[in-house]
Amino acid sequence: MDKKLLIGKALKAKEKAYTPYSGFNVGAALLTKTGKIYTGCNVECVSYTPTICAERTAIAKAVSEGERSFIAIAITGDADWTFPCGVCRQVIREFGKDIIVIVAKSEDEYREYTLEELMPHSFGPEDLD
């Protein structure tokens, strides 16, 4: 996995964010097991509730193209370290506990976690069996 490439795509996606209310831009790049990369940015709405995060945008794009198996997701935002929110962590978790989450300031400055580290004792599809 080329982490710098993934982070670079997240940084480019961040530039497309629609954030007229918060001004806080986030970009994400999702690597699938087939090797494809799907990007996303946050899209705000005046009433905030319908706002969608960059991570969920990337996941929705991948799923809408038939992808269901993910290796890693890189996230970059306007804060020093922008971590996925709780809702995004749960959506990422839907597709596996072993997904690598890369939180980046730049292509050279990043931190890497497993989803299990960010969301221990999570609830997932297998819990319904």
> Tens digit of pLDDT for each residue in 113-126?
998 899 999 888 88
Query: What is the chain written as a DSSP string?
Result: --HHHHHHHHHHHHTT-B-TTT---EEEEEEETTS-EEEEE-B--TTSTT-B-HHHHHHHHHHHTT---EEEEEEEESSSS-PPPHHHHHHHHTT-S--EEEEESSSSSEEEEEHHHHSTT---GGGG-
Q: What does the pLDDT average to over 6-34? A: 97
pTM, 2 dp: 0.94
Is there a catalytic annotation at residue 55? Answer: yes
Which of 55, 94, 107, 109 does the annotation list as catalytic?
55
pLDDT digits (tens, 9 = 90+) for 46-90: 998 889 999 999 999 999 999 999 999 999 999 989 999 999 999
Domains (range + CATH), the chain: 3-122 (3.40.140.10)
